[in-house]
Amino acid sequence: MKKIYITGIVASGKTTLARQLSKKMNIPWYELDSIVHHQTAEGRNKRTPEEQVAVIREIDSKGQWIFEGTDRGSYRCLFDMADTVIFLDPPLWKRRIRIFTRFIKQNLGIEKCNYKPDMEMLKMMYRWTEDFENNRAAFEARLNLYNNKLIKLSDNKKCKTQKDENDERFSQGY
């Protein structure tokens, strides 16, 4: 595994897994939210989808990487570019608890974030979660096109792939 795309909805564990894999495998990781909303001297600015793809392709040209983020049209090129796609899909109840816990930690200053952790953002995270669940079938249909390199995780301690329950790619990389 040299190019890994980790995807899932809000609070699925993408950043945690990316950070762990990056450290263990010595591969740089990138938060896709930081590519969309990049920091400049004037503050946070949102790149256009075309600019986002250009940044992704520039990073890809440099070699190994781990990208992590939710599903956006501008990220879909990563399904083709990656040699491994990991879909994190913990149960809905767990994601809801994580969203609220994250909100509390951010407001107490225990956890850092690049956005304002206010009630509006909390509502948006729950809305994005609901939207994901309502559109899950379409997302999973897109994922199924990449079964040969797809790893599904519902729990960070258990791995389930589309091709093989004991997929060596996963066990060798972790």
For 76-126, write each residue's pLDDT tens digit. 999 999 999 999 999 999 999 999 999 999 999 898 887 888 999 999 999
For 2-61, write each residue's pLDDT tens digit. 999 999 999 999 999 999 999 999 999 999 988 988 877 887 788 999 999 999 999 999
The CA–CA distances, whole Å, from 57 to 21, 26, 75 equal 21, 20, 11
Q: What distance in Å separates the CA atoms of residue 116 and residue 162, rounded to the nearest whole number? A: 38
| pLDDT score at 40 | 79
DSSP per residue, 52-70: HHHHHHHHHHTS-EEEEE-
- Cα Rg of the chain, angstroms: 16
Handedness of CA 169, 32, 24, 10 (dihedral sign): negative
The CA–CA distances, whole Å, from 99 to 104, 117, 149, 170 equal 9, 11, 29, 27
| pLDDT score at 158 | 52
Q: Is the pLDDT of residue 145 over 60?
A: yes
| pLDDT score at 64 | 96
pLDDT band at 138 (very low <50, low <70, confident <90, very high): very high
- Selection from 42, 77, 44, 71 nearest residue 59 by Cα: 77
| pLDDT score at 165 | 43
